[in-house]
Amino acid sequence: MKKDTIRAYCPSCRHHQTFVRVKTNHWAHLALSVLTCGLWLVSWGAVCLGVLLRPWRCEHCGWHKPEFRVHPPTAEKGAEQPQHEDAA
Ligand SMILES: [Zn+2]
């Protein structure tokens, strides 16, 4: 199976992790559908739906929503505090 990988922030792990997207081998599914007289179409449809709805998976925990942000939420929260309150 072919895989695509990206690095993104995982809210479940709270770290940057590798996310994996598995490419579907449609020729194998077509061959299995012919061999099983169309019975395999149910599995093929389920695989296509899964890839369509949740294409990326965290390699560590399996989370399906990678976030493309530079800093984790705790770092952004600290940066949002105004500077003048520290001096007062
Ligand atoms: Zn994760």
Domain ranges of the chain: 3-70
11 CA → ligand 1 middle, Å:
7
72 CA → ligand 1 middle, Å:
13
The tens place of each residue's pLDDT in the chain, 88 residues long, gives 678 899 999 999 999 999 999 889 999 999 999 999 999 999 999 999 998 999 999 999 999 999 987 665 555 554 444 545 454 4
User: Position 22: which residue type?
Assistant: V
User: Position 88: which residue type?
Assistant: A
Q: Mention every residue, 6+ apart, whose C-beta is less than 8 A from residue 19.
A: 5, 6, 7, 8, 10, 56, 57, 58, 59, 66
